[in-house]
Amino acid sequence: MTQNNAFELNRRTVMKLGVGAAAAATAGVNLSSEKALANNPAKSQSPALGARLSRAEGPLKVSGQARYAIEQKLENMAYGVTVQSTRPAGRIVSIDTSAAKALPGVVDVYTPQNALKLNKPTVYSKGGGATEEFTPLQDDVIRFNGMHIALVVAETFEQAMEAASLLKVEYEAGDAIVDFNDPKAKSQPIDAMAAAWGDAATALANAEVKVDVTYTTSREYNVPMEPHACIASWDNGKMTVWEPSQWVGGARRVVSDWLGIDIEDVRVISPYVGGGFGSKIGAHPHVGLACAASRKLGRPVKVSLTRPQTFTGLGGRPATRQNLSIGATKEGKIVSIVHESWNETAIDELHVEACNNVTKIMYATPNLSSRLNVVPVHTVQPGWKRAPGENPSAYALECAIDELAYALEMDPITLRLANWADIDPSSKLPWTTRQLREAYAAGADAIGWWKRNPKPRSMREGRELIGFGMASGAYPMLRTASEAKIVFHVSGQIEVLSGGTDIGTGTYTILAQTAADVLGVPAETVAVRLGDTILPRSALAGGSQQANNLTGAVDRAAKNARAALLSLAATDPKSPLAASKVTELTLENGRVRPTRRPSGGISIADLLKAVGRNTLEVEGNTFAPGASEEMKNGADRSFAQMKASLEGGVSAHSWCAQFVEVRVDEDFGTIRVKRMVAAFDSGRIFNPKLAESQWIGGMIMGLGQTLLEEGHVDQRDGRTVNANFADYAVPVNADVPGVQVISVGIPDFQASALGGKGVGEIGVVGVAPAIGNAVFHATGKRVRSLPITLEKLA
């Protein structure tokens, strides 16, 4: 059979298995959703929850009225500037601060010889809230180029910057390992995260068709628009920190650890966050310096990292290497997957990029072996960047699956369907919902997958080679119980209170929609307060969990508030409805009325006035009955109460199918992405406009990862040489093509209280392999390292 005939047969097979199923599912999505909602105690979807509302805080941001953390104006504030090491290893012999201290306005200069006392914080893996143990100025050891070695504090930022430039540092050189390709680098296995079943090695050796490939990714940086910065203010034994944070409860715990004070004496405030993508989950070392300096000086201190300092003041996604072998029958059935990965970690800390997260669940195989390793190097401790683990895992796996499809002369979608996993292959648990077949069909139809010529380097327009590629992806459903509070005011205002933060995803908006949905009022009438540790406890905004965590908590609080309001109306002697039974009353359109009356009643404001109350405050939470305060604090300040994807004896994930069309200039090798289409199963969508924005943002980030982003390290001294926006390229408008996103999900009440699944992370998963596979289709050349640049295509 010729290759084209084989692809045509596979196309027809997929049309039968995939598109037909998708057509039926798509036609029945609304009906299926209504049935699922009707069979669940959650309130049926109304015009409030599920509406395409714009972000509530949007006008404040575009008009400059949204005051971010470091825009607070405090009296007598000093300004701190950190100084970073210019060596990758060794020790500090001395730092001459005399010239800096002689400058006008300089308050003090802190170094290991004149240190600010900081305790080592407890990291998340040991029950704390920190993402790194590194605590600056506590010793003279140099761990990486760019490490904080001094803090200059002055009356103005400009004075602090000038003084910082005058420090003279004497180093004692050390033997450095600057990246994991260094011959001196030694890998360490992470046995606890290995996965294995069957006899993968033997099955691979006996397989009829094999691919054996290595894929690598470069260091990547989160580079949010808002740099990392904070204001710390010590006052009468208490510390207040304004910090752009994805997790104020965790930051509060870390500040408490650093300063050795009771956590109740720490307040963290984060009203708005200008992007984080995982880098603002933990409070980083510069925050500790600001807090210690404020306590030492008895005045507020602002510390802002410069843009170059954000590349080493905290870590991004580490470089990775993955060896992946897949064995299959001639008919395309996978019989074995053998996988091993390596990622960089700090020289004296541990960060694991879980590169087998997707590998071990995506396809049915009787035999699998996956091992993870870390390689300590002299670098800042790596951190989380959007879809940590799943992103590089899907990159290697989905590129290798594409290679296997070409080796078998099968269509890539056909091959994936031939190895469909009816249950989670790793845990052997049933899926909650898995609308991945529908995603394949919807995405393929939207991009015109079946109209392409599948042969590599067969499509062109003038001097441009045209390529189509696709890939799958998954992201686990994480959950943490949280709290919320509803406040009815005598003015008529309704407030939602939560310590969770809005990192640009629309939390302000969807929480207003959730409360409005239960209380029967327009979403625009509900005000939301977020990002403050004095508000009800919330888990982090990370791992695609906050929307589901907080909508569940707000839904509970709003239902409790509705019941409390009706009870007040029926039982308070001063209420005009005091003669009624609670069961005879209804709350609708902001008014309490007898159910038998179609209109009339009393407004919430008038009811509170009548009974002599200024407010009615009602809480709700998603903790199990009888949960202790220790458990609730654990959810707020650590990962102790976080539930993983296998909670409840089922396997819960979001799913995606990514499709792209690329154009490659035949003469110059330049790559342009022409179209991007993706179909997502994220369960019930609380606000389609905001979900689509998140998906599109993730896809654009994936485009940058694939074609542009790469941290370059000087092999001589470990310096990140492109630590700026001029040299570390991220996508701009001209790089971004037309993007289409499609929701194929249905409500999943096994995954969350209101039926939603993760939205924020899944958008980036699968983009890199889809583009890489498209480049191969266009050019016939397989590039197995990111980013894909014209030099690699030469």
- Token pair, residue 421, equals 């996993």
Q: Give the ranges where 360-460 is alpha helix by DSSP (H).
A: 390-408, 412-418, 436-447
For 236, list phi and psi in degrees, rounded to 5: 55, 45
In the annotation, is 617 catalytic?
no
Candidates 47, 66, 62; CA nearest to 523 is: 47
DSSP-assigned states of every residue in 735-757: G--EEEEEE-----TTTSTTSB-
Name residue 678's beta-bridge partners: 658, 741
> For the chain, which domains are there?
3-66+479-637 (3.30.365.10), 389-477+645-793 (3.30.365.10)
Side-chain-facing half-sphere of 248: CA atoms under 13 Å: 29
The pLDDT tens digits of the residues spanning 511-561 come to: 999 999 999 999 999 999 999 999 999 999 999 999 999 999 999 999 999
The alpha carbons of the chain give a radius of gyration, in whole angstroms, of: 28
Catalytic residue among 226, 353, 483, 761: 761
Residue 794: the pLDDT is 87
Token pair 């809480």 in the structure block, residue: 619
Residue 110: the pLDDT is 98
The pLDDT tens digits of the residues spanning 293-340 come to: 999 999 999 999 999 999 999 999 999 999 999 999 999 999 999 999
Contact status, residue 303 vs residue 287, Cβ threshold 8 Å: yes
Residue partners of 654: CB distance under 8 A and separation at least 6: 474, 475, 477, 544, 680, 681, 682, 683, 745, 757, 758, 759, 761, 762
Residue partners of 711: CB distance under 8 A and separation at least 6: 218, 219, 220, 221, 311, 316, 319, 720, 722, 728
Note the pTM of the prediction, 2 decimals.
0.93
Report the alpha-carbon distance of residue 626 to residue 631 in Å, rounded. 10
Q: End-to-end alpha-carbon separation of the chain, Å?
A: 33
- Token pair, residue 254, equals 């870390």
Using DSSP, state whether 172 is helix, strand or coil.
strand
Report the alpha-carbon distance of residue 460 to residue 36 in Å, rounded. 47
pLDDT < 70: residue spans in the chain: 1-47
Candidates 129, 63, 68; CA nearest to 503 is: 68
Residue 47: the pLDDT is 67
Distance from the Cα of residue 199 to its chain's centroid? 35
Which is it for the CA torsion 337, 319, 657, 672, positive or negative? negative
